Structure 1
Amino acid sequence: MNTAEIFGISLIVFWGIMYLLRKKLENRGFQIYPFLLLWRKSTRSEWLPNIAKSKGYRIFEKVGIGLGIISMIAGIALIIYVISEFITPKAPQAASLRLEPVIPGVTIGIDQLPYILLAIGISVTLHELAHAISATSNNVKVRSGGFLFLIFFPGAFVEPDEEEYNSSSSSVRLKILSAGLAVNLILAAVFFPLAVYLPPLASQGLQIVGELKGYPAYNASIPVNSVILKIDGHATHTPSELEAYLHQGGIQTLTLLYPNGSINNVKVNISDPQHLLGVYLTYYFPSWLYAILDFITWMFTINFSLALFNGAPLIITDGGKVFNEILKKLGVNERTSYLIQGVITMLFISAILLSINPLQ
């Protein structure tokens, strides 16, 4: 039994236990639905008023509306782009951008699950906190809040007082709705350069994760998972550094850290016209740094995804509510807004299905 099967069985067992205990859990304020657990309670009516009423936060809210609209437009554009990639003829080897769902053991490794859950927990909590602070900033009371657990994804939510929210101006509603999207977009912008530039800076070598038969690394019997530390005495931390030295061609000496922990010098003959070693590489880090870099990568991925897909007008998303407010200002009725959102939602589902089962 592989890890994906164990994970799937564990999920079924967990939700089976939740269902059997639903009466006791409901008495403690939980609500149990198929693969959804909710905990809701009344909360303070104002959230961080000193921040909410500050000049800096008022500026953030105005910028946030623009960021919310950007998220909405980018979400729509990404969905359309993904579909066009699949339906437009291209070379067989050309890669297509996909919207694959996160399925531990299937689309991602089980070892990534802790970082994903932590990144989702932090990102969603900050998203909802921004909604609550913006409600306070605009004199709309927060009625309740809580946490949720969907399949295996954690989440959070806040609920402004419905009467006060509905009676507020359109600009106030846009500020409250856009605040969460703006936070996710800002977090994605913060973690993107860290995810891109920190790995090469922290790299201590290049790990060989695969080899091509008939090329120098394979011919020299270099074990897969070995780490290239140096080439001809020069430290190599990035693929571009390695490529620069390989381009010189001829007999070159690789200093390698083997999987068994030994360090060996191996000569390779780079006679290929393209000066290829014939390996697939990844950065090599101290063991403790892998966890930090995985977390940074998922913080970018989760926040970018939340900003675009929660920003897209998909009926139940914040972007859908922002879309409603904008169309109201343009004099378009709510029914037409939901019709357009329905079409975009179907496109989104189609993009996911195409990503799972691409057209041949």
Structure 2
Amino acid sequence: MSLLDPYIPLLFYLAVWIVIYGLAVLLKADKYGIIAKPYYLMLKTVVFNGWIEKIGGRFRRAWLAFFDIGAAMGVGLLVFVVYSFINNAIGLFRHSSSAGPTLLIIPLPGLTIGWDIFPYILLAIAVLLIPHEVAHGIASVLDKVPLKSSGVFMAIFLPGGFVEIDEENLAKRKARTKLRVFAAGSFTNVATWALVLVLLVALYQPAPTGVLVTGFTNGSPAQTSGLPQWSIITQVNNNATPDVQHLGSYLGSLSPGTNVTVHLTNPSQTLKITTGKSDTNSSRAIIGVQTANYVPLRYQFLPVTSSYQLLTAFGWMQLILLGVALVNMLPLFPFDGDRYLDTLLSVVGLKNTKNVRTVASVISLGLLGSNIILSYILFGTIFPR
């Protein structure tokens, strides 16, 4: 295996990107509203403005109530994210077990993430960004703040959408309008996160019932014994394996070379496998499978593979939607939280908000940076590659 082999898909992807960029330049795509740069392609148009205005015009009272709730909850989101970052930074510094890694998603397939999870992250980012920007647009048109343009973009690996609001017009509006607009994106992301959570609870059972085999290490005992991919391990030597942790714990109690009986479903069968040894610990027994917890659907309307893929997609959406929604409400320029704080300060009568915003930005940047740095030191990169 060549050292370049893991990077061939990435190089191929970049080559395709260069070809697309070259074609956009040669065909003068800017005539059609497509802005082509080496690092992004953007479709900028006013066509979507009409759609956003129509959406905002329907159920106007419901939209106003929704964004009023968002404007009020913005205070809670801002306070919660600052408190969470302070608490987590202290926990990371003290090596507390309650502190968790801070995820900074930079999706570079083959480098920071595996190609197998790249589609899930793209989908999650699209579900994050497009409703986020549309929400800003709807909140604006509700109070007749004009939209200059809107569109979609692809920044090499990052998809998304945008809505360009008439900032001069917005600056002249009442505080209530500004708070609605500035909190709209993050609040919509939180609402989408809650919707995904409801779907998870409605569609899937509350606990795993086995270990799903998603792949194999090359030439592993499980692979050579004919264990099927996407089968579900439910028992090893009559010991129940309801999740990955139980399977790992039981195999860890065995020695390499031990014969084990593996009970499977999907399809239902029993296999005899002789355990191998771990590359990192020669005294630890393994069967050489890549695994995930198998959480069954409440109603089996999808095959196991599709059920796993849907659950994985929901998992990434949950992670990215809530995480980015909260980070976006940090009072840090140029995040929405900075402009939200500026409006709040004006509401309470503070005329010169620049100094307070600068201090808040410096503190927020320090909190964000310390969480990311300490997280990397303690946990490293946690994305599968």
Fold conserved between structures, TM > 0.5: yes
**Which amino acid in 1 is paired with 2:181?**
I
Contact kept in structure 1, 2:67 and 2:139, CA below 8 Å:
yes
Contact kept in structure 2, 1:132 and 1:158, CA below 8 Å:
yes
**Pick from 240, 263, 276: which aligns with 2:270?**
263
**Which amino acid in 1 is paired with 2:270?**
I
Instruction: Give TM-score, length-normalised by structure 1.
Output: 0.74
Q: How big is each residue's C-alpha offset from its partner over 1:183-214, in whole Å with a ceiling of 9 and x where there is no partner?
A: 1011112323555785555856324799xxxx
Contact kept in structure 1, 2:196 and 2:317, CA below 8 Å:
yes
**Pick from 314, 319, 338: which aligns with 2:337?**
319
What residue in structure 1 maps to residue 31 of structure 2? 27
Distance 2:378 2:247 in 1: 35
Contact kept in structure 1, 2:88 and 2:99, CA below 8 Å:
no
Q: Secondary structure at the match of 1:6?
A: helix
The CA deviation at 1:174 is 0.6
Distance 2:137 2:236 in 1: 55
Contact kept in structure 2, 1:209 and 1:224, CA below 8 Å:
no
What residue in structure 2 maps to residue 153 of structure 1? 158
Contact kept in structure 2, 1:195 and 1:300, CA below 8 Å:
no
What residue in structure 1 maps to residue 167 of structure 2? 162
**Pick from 361, 365, 375: which aligns with 1:355?**
375
What residue in structure 1 maps to residue 278 of structure 2? none
Q: Secondary structure at the match of 1:163?
A: helix
**Pick from 15, 40, 61: which aligns with 2:67?**
61
What residue in structure 2 maps to residue 176 of structure 1? 181
Stretch of structure 1 that moved more, 344-353 or 304-313? 344-353
Contact kept in structure 2, 1:182 and 1:307, CA below 8 Å:
yes
- Decide whether aligned partners of structure 1 residues 341 and 192 sit closer, same or farther in structure 2, where only a CA change above 3 A counts: same
- Decide whether aligned partners of structure 1 residues 358 and 20 sit closer, same or farther in structure 2, where only a CA change above 3 A counts: farther
The CA deviation at 1:145 is 0.7
What residue in structure 2 maps to residue 334 of structure 1? 353
What residue in structure 2 maps to residue 101 of structure 1? 105
Contact kept in structure 1, 2:56 and 2:63, CA below 8 Å:
no
**Which amino acid in 2 is paired with 1:283?**
N
**Which amino acid in 1 is paired with 2:364?**
I
Structure 1 segment 279-294 matched on structure 2, within 5 A = 282-284=292-294, 286-294=304-312
Q: How big is each residue's C-alpha offset from its partner over 1:308-349, in whole Å with a ceiling of 9 and x where there is no partner?
A: 111222211112211221122230623221342143124323
Structure 1 segment 41-56 matched on structure 2, within 5 A = 41-42=45-46, 43-44=49-50, 46-51=53-58, 53-54=60-61, 56=62
Q: Secondary structure at the match of 2:331?
A: coil
**Pick from 68, 78, 81: which aligns with 1:75?**
81
The gaps in structure 2 that reach 5 residues or longer are 216-221, 249-259, 274-284, 297-303, 381-385
Distance 1:307 1:200 in 2: 27
Q: How big is each residue's C-alpha offset from its partner over 1:191-247, in whole Å with a ceiling of 9 and x where there is no partner?
A: 23555785555856324799xxxxxxx9xx99898743358989865579999xxxx
- Decide whether aligned partners of structure 1 residues 82 and 149 sit closer, same or farther in structure 2, where only a CA change above 3 A counts: farther
What residue in structure 1 maps to residue 121 of structure 2? 116
Aligned residues: 334
**Pick from 85, 95, 102: which aligns with 2:91?**
85
CA RMSD of aligned residues (A): 4.3
**Pick from 10, 26, 41: which aligns with 2:13?**
10
**Which amino acid in 2 is paired with 1:297?**
G
Q: How big is each residue's C-alpha offset from its partner over 1:28-60, in whole Å with a ceiling of 9 and x where there is no partner?
A: 323344523332122338242443522x22221
Contact kept in structure 2, 1:100 and 1:356, CA below 8 Å:
no
What residue in structure 1 maps to residue 43 of structure 2? 39
**Which amino acid in 2 is paired with 1:298?**
W
In the alignment, structure 1 residue 134 sits paired with structure 2 residue 139: yes
Instruction: Give TM-score, length-normalised by structure 2.
Output: 0.70
- Decide whether aligned partners of structure 1 residues 283 and 96 sit closer, same or farther in structure 2, where only a CA change above 3 A counts: closer
- Decide whether aligned partners of structure 1 residues 259 and 357 sit closer, same or farther in structure 2, where only a CA change above 3 A counts: farther
Contact kept in structure 2, 1:52 and 1:133, CA below 8 Å:
no
The gaps in structure 1 that reach 5 residues or longer are 211-217, 244-252, 267-276
The CA deviation at 1:15 is 4.8
Contact kept in structure 1, 2:21 and 2:37, CA below 8 Å:
no
Q: Secondary structure at the match of 1:101?
A: coil
Contact kept in structure 2, 1:231 and 1:254, CA below 8 Å:
yes
Stretch of structure 1 that moved more, 278-287 or 128-137? 278-287
